Amino acid sequence: MYTLKKEAASTKARLGEFKTDHGVIETPIFMPVGTLGTVKGVSQKSLIEQIHAQIILGNTYHLYLRPGNEIMKEAGGLHKFMNWNKPILTDSGGYQIFSLSENRKLEEEGAHFKSHIDGSKHLFTPENVVDTQRILGSDIMMLLDECPPYPSTFEYAKNSMELTHRWAKRGRKHFLETNDLYDHKQNQFGIIQGSTYKDLRIESTKFITDLDFEGIAIGGLSVGEPIPLMYEMADLNTDYIPKNKARYLMGVGTPGNLLECVARGIDMFDCVMPTRNARNGTIFTKNGKVNIRNAQWKNHHKPLDEDFPSELCNTYTMAYIHHLIKHNEIFGLVLASVHNLTFYLWLMEKVREHIANDTFAEWYPEMVRKVESKI
């Protein structure tokens, strides 16, 4: 259940909270991605004690394939399987099926696809995706949808959106007719589609909100369209989403993207970028991005930022981190991953503080400039 706490005066930024049986999620929030029941290179202890994650993501497609529904049910759901007692959101797997392209076929019944692991054939329907997420026991489950590629023709985008709408009705009906498997309540979010066509986006927003989901996700963005167009579509969608519903922009993004989209009324974000970029040597900081693999750091015997609350910043020198990452030492990848996620959650904390203090509109443009710059 989402509660709107405060709206900013001169932007669409807002403070809120989403209550689950595993805890309250303060929004705006960033959600670390734990596709297979783990955030890559990061322990559950680090997520809680260092990163201060309030909620993490799991992926239905990947967890359905391995370890599978039988083992997950015997474990008592994903929370017990991974020993995580905070909220979890699970994606439906729609985006992963979209990514398979050559190995999937969409029909009215659902999505036929071949496993990327062994080529075995499977079918996801709006109903069995709900059933799988019942077994996972996520606090927030997502609908099965089709994510159209960018660019798409108007005809393709319209047909895709209408298929997503028909699947949404079936998925919502099945959710309401089935029960939670464990001792906590589950919520279901609908997903808006429509590619980058304004009239389709508006139509989809109205259709999905009429089904009265517990929250609304904005899908089909961050799939290759220009960044200004992504902002425009997100801004348009939030104009039509009721104020009493949480708004989740799927798969976004850079620190600057988050700030710009908070200003456009988004509450929730997820992205693999903090950990993936960490493994490639990019360190996010409040003063910009650092490519720690660059030779300029190999003899830099000072910490990155002694005042920032991450082990990478306040314990080790840049030369040491450069050495670890340059040679793909696991410890370096772990330090960088924990740091980047700590930064993302720190940034969201600062966002909430500035909204609460009525200073967000003045603060965020300069912060966007800083975090998107290169050091």
Rg (CA), the chain: 20
Burial class for 260, CB neighbours closer than 10 Å (0-12, 13-18, 19+): buried
Residue 210 burial (C-beta neighbours within 10 Å; 0-12, 13-18, 19+): exposed
SS3 148: coil
Of 145, 267, 270, 305, which residue is the catalytic one? 270
Q: Exactly one of 91, 139, 145, 305 is catalytic; name it.
A: 91
Helices marked H in the chain — which ranges? 44-46, 60-65, 69-75, 78-82, 94-100, 126-136, 154-177, 198-210, 227-240, 255-262, 273-279, 311-315, 318-326, 330-356, 360-372
Number of other residues whose CB lies within 10 A of the CB of residue 297: 24
235 annotated active-site: no
Q: What is the end-to-end Cα distance of the chain in Å, rounded?
A: 41
Q: Would residue 21 show up in a list of annotated catalytic residues for this protein?
A: no
The two counts, helices (H) then strands (E), for the chain are 15, 16
Which helix (H) or strand (E) segment is 179 a member of? Answer: none
Residue type, 206: K
Residues with a known catalytic role: 91, 270
